[in-house]
Amino acid sequence: MRRLPSLNGLRAFEAAARHGSFVGAAAELNVTQAAVSRMVRLLEERFGFQLSSAGPTAST
């Protein structure tokens, strides 16, 4: 049986994509930037590929 991805992870990823940063997503979701980062990382692990770019100026 296939497990569905985390709804909180999907919300965090969608908000980060819209805001262009984990900080903006965190403010919208009333959580810390670290929490958004962790939710997106867990979602990436679940899907098996990277959803966000990790560069010096990129937050998503």
Closest CA to 36 of 57, 20, 48: 20
pTM exceeds 0.75, yes or no: yes
Q: What percent helix, strand, coil does the chain show, rounded to 5?
A: 60, 0, 40
Give the pLDDT confidence of 5-52 residue by residue, as tens digits. 889 999 999 999 999 999 999 999 999 999 999 999 999 999 888 887
CA dihedral 60, 57, 55, 31 (to 10 degrees): -40
Contact 53, 20 (CB under 8 A): no
**Number of Cβ within a 10 Å radius of residue 30:** 7
